[in-house]
Chain A
Amino acid sequence: MRKIKLTALLLSIAALSTACTGQSENVTSAASGVTGEITISCYDTAASQAFLEEAARKFEETYPGTNVHIDTFSQMPEIKSSEQEGEQRTVILGEDDPQGRADYISKISTSLMSGEGADLLAMDVLPIDKYVQSGQLENLKEYMDGDSSFQKSDYRGNIINGLEFQNGIWFLPLDYSFNYYAYDSTLMADQTTSELGVNHAFTSNQLIELGKTAFNGENRILSAPAYISDGNGDLFSRMFREKYKEFVDFENQTANFKDGIFEELLKTISDMADQGYIAKGLRNTTDTGEYRESAENPTDRYLFKTKNNFSLVKETYPDPDLALMVSTSMVDNGIETDDEIGGMWSDEGNRVPFTYEQAYGINSNSKNKETAWAFLKFLLSYEIQSSPSMSLLSLPVHNKARMAKAESLYGMLLTESGELDEAQRQALNAYTDAVEVMSDQINGYTVRDTTIEDMVIKEAGYFFDGSKTADQVAQVLQNKVELYLNE
């Protein structure tokens, strides 16, 4: 079970989102073809519904004669409120639902098969590679190049260009996130910290090697445990993703789990756990639940920990109250009060990847592609990108909106009036500088396939619980993934 814990902050964000109406830019409907009905389909109700409904309302106001339907699938997560030490806390519990995902994919695939389907498809769980290969998605590169009203320079070029796959750009993200490493400055020697900072990028292996110099057996090198059964925040999943391209080649439809690299990966992680560099694996949902609970009240210190870009707020404005408010971690990162930015997370091919919360592609079957493209552009516009209903955990792809959002985020987190004092403004500048410098290093997006990842994570679990050898796991995966790719 995946538990998503957020703090009271999110409740206040939600309240702010509904209260804030935003300043509409009153765009005139210059494009006469932008009319009629379109439908957007997405799996993740919690992440998309409120945002899309608000955007749809504004779009319909801007383009009279249009009608946008939102079709979401997953159940809304359960929200629990409690009071701890006099503070109101909100916990959002969302359960991972592989069957629900499979049902959704099946539903979408069936509708596409019959020549129908939503005009815009959210790329949250759909098998992008399969849809691209079967020609179900429009090449948005052609749309961007052929539309003078779309200014690519308004957006982060490395994010959009990083999406190129099979000679096209098949979907556009509204936001992006990246992971970085932080280090505990009380545990690291000065000569080691000189190798760390916002301009650096490391793979997990490089970081562990670096950490070995400061490892004394008391504090673990990395906060991530060897294996978590839901594949979320563990070292195995991370290192698998770092080497993803070595194992899965979509272009040539080949799998490569049997040349020893995958077996070596499993054994290396297991050895790291044996030597105390990382915690052992979490094999079942009970273990995972306890682990997530311990993330709430950390007592240990780790040399390195992985964080999401949102945590940069804490790094730039070290305040214990703020630290509690922006606690979004699903993993136990230990005590974070002395953390400094260590560098970006990179994969084995020196690629610094990014992820996104929301991204959309246009269905090739759409009867109203012009309006679908207009709505997608609208979602990418400054007005929508700077809207408080966009996720606060990720960064808008629109450059000006990213700055505006940072300012409103700091105003909301650090002040009651929204006006920043000198120290707070310095912290904001440090934050935006760090975000931009770190974002500049991003140079790719790995098209991953949830079916393959589910296979790999499930099968790796048999190695970590001792019921299969690395060789057996590699053999099974070789057969299954190759079969999947060659179907």
Chain B
Amino acid sequence: MNKIKKHSAVLFLLPGLLGFTVFYILPFFISLGYAFTDKAVNGTFQGMKNFVDLFHNKAYLKGLFNTCKFIAVSVPLNMGAALGLSLMAKGIKKRKDLFTLVFLIPLVIPSGSMAFFWSSLFADQGVLNGWLNMLGIGKVRWLDSGTAFWIMVLIFTWKNLGYSMVLYIDGLNRIPHDYYEAAWIDGAGAGDIFRGIILPLLQPASILVLIMSLINSFKVFKEIYMITGGYPHDSIYTLQHFMNNMFASLNYPKLTTATAVLVTVMTVFSQFLLKLERKASS
């Protein structure tokens, strides 16, 4: 029986795996060759020089710093907010589905529409500055000052909150109700239950949310790029800006070097988190 199950699982996985291999894995390994040459056309092999140079490249280091800073701020914020909302959703008796659905709407809005919305809101001549003007306050360059970083955090959180919330709701639903009842009978307060039951038993869900948030934190680039272009304010220049600009300027060696580093780091990190998740689940 187990053998049949395994075979059917492989059959179901095969089409996706094939597509993933042909369109992602193979091109990645084919393009990896550029990471060891000085230029894309008639390039010569130069060993690990591109990797060494990459970590001396000011633009790359700036993108790396901003990406790390963004992840450090936005991922915990997203996880905390999602956990809070999922706890609220759990406590809601009526219209619970509607409450959840509202937070899922950003997931189905196309990136172009989202970019248009945020751009209209934060543009120099946009809605927010219009309101500030009505109040007699001078306009703020939302996208061209330090506030741009927080707008990027806001866009990320707005887009991913619903998804993370659903994962947490699922995790909360998996906690047996008996545990709460036993805790109440023993006189535990809400804080004790959160610390002693919810947090430990939500570990697998938390790790999954962490992995998904990390991956999605790289995807926020699409909207940011649409709003601010390839050379935005210093504070929101991320690794993806660097890689996208390398693509536009035909610097394939730098692009593939940066991609190789990123893929390696992400693979190692997600493997570590998945191991943690399996450990927590068991």
Contacts and interface: CB of A to CB of B under 8 A. Distances in A.
Nearest to B144: A476
Most buried by B among A106, A135, A136, A483: A483
Interface string B137-157: 001010010000000000000
B59 interface: yes
A467 B139 contact: yes
A487 B239 CA distance: 11
A109 interface: yes
A135 B60 CA distance: 22
Interface stretch (B3-11, B75-83, B216-224, B249-257): B249-257
A365 interface: yes
B121 interface: no
Contacts of B122: none
Contacts of A455: 231
A482 interface: yes
A116 B248 CA distance: 15
Contacts of A462: 141
A105 B248 contact: yes
Interface stretch (A24-32, A126-134, A326-334, A396-404): A126-134
A482 B58 contact: yes
Interface in B42-65: 42-43, 57-60, 62
Contact of A487 (B41, B234, B246, B252): B246
Contact of B41 (A127, A134, A483): A134
Nearest to A465: B124
Contact of A484 (B40, B42, B139, B231): B231
Interface in B6-53: 39-43
A130 B234 CA distance: 22
A259 B115 CA distance: 36
Given A482-B58, A486-B57, A134 B251 contact: yes
A487 B40 contact: no
Nearest to B243: A487
Please indicate which of the listed interface residues A105, A113, A484, A487 has the most CB atoms of chain B within 10 Å of its own CB.
A487
Contact of A131 (B57, B60, B246, B250): B250
A463 to B, nearest CB: 13
B141 A467 contact: yes
A75 B160 CA distance: 39
A468 B248 CA distance: 30
B231 A113 contact: no
A134 B62 contact: no
A487 B233 CA distance: 15
A133 B234 CA distance: 25
Nearest to A363: B41
Contact of B254 (A136, A482, A487): A487
A224 B242 CA distance: 38
Contacts of B249: 109, 127, 130, 134, 487
A377 interface: no
Interface in A332-386: 364-365
B245 interface: yes
Chain A contact surface mostly: helix
Given A136-B41, A479-B234, A483-B237, A109 B57 contact: no
A148 B245 CA distance: 41
A134 B250 contact: yes
B247 interface: yes
A206 interface: no
A136 B242 contact: no
B231 to A, nearest CB: 5
A398 B143 CA distance: 49
Contacts of B43: 135
A127 to B, nearest CB: 7
A480 interface: yes
B245 A487 contact: yes
Contacts of B42: 135, 364
A112 interface: yes
Contact of A113 (B59, B233, B237, B250): B250
A451 interface: yes
Contact of A134 (B40, B124, B230): B40
B252 A113 contact: yes
A340 B237 CA distance: 51
A284 to B, nearest CB: 9
A483 B231 contact: yes
A280 B245 CA distance: 36
B247 A113 contact: yes
A134 B141 contact: no
A335 to B, nearest CB: 36
A135 B231 contact: no
Nearest to B39: A135
Nearest to B42: A135
A106 B231 CA distance: 15
B203 to A, nearest CB: 40
Contacts of B141: 462, 467-468
Given A486-B57, A487-B59, A112 B250 contact: yes
Given A135-B40, A451-B230, A487-B246, 7 more contacts: A109-B247, A130-B249, A134-B41, A136-B250, A468-B141, A487-B59, A487-B251
26 contacts: A106-B248, A109-B247, A127-B249, A130-B249, A130-B250, A131-B250, A133-B251, A134-B41, A134-B249, A135-B41, A136-B41, A364-B41, A365-B41, A455-B231, A467-B124, A476-B144, A476-B233, A479-B234, A480-B234, A483-B58, A483-B234, A486-B57, A487-B59, A487-B242, A487-B245, A487-B249
The 8 closest A-B pairs by CB, nearest first: A134-B250, A130-B249, A487-B59, A135-B41, A135-B39, A364-B41, A486-B58, A486-B59
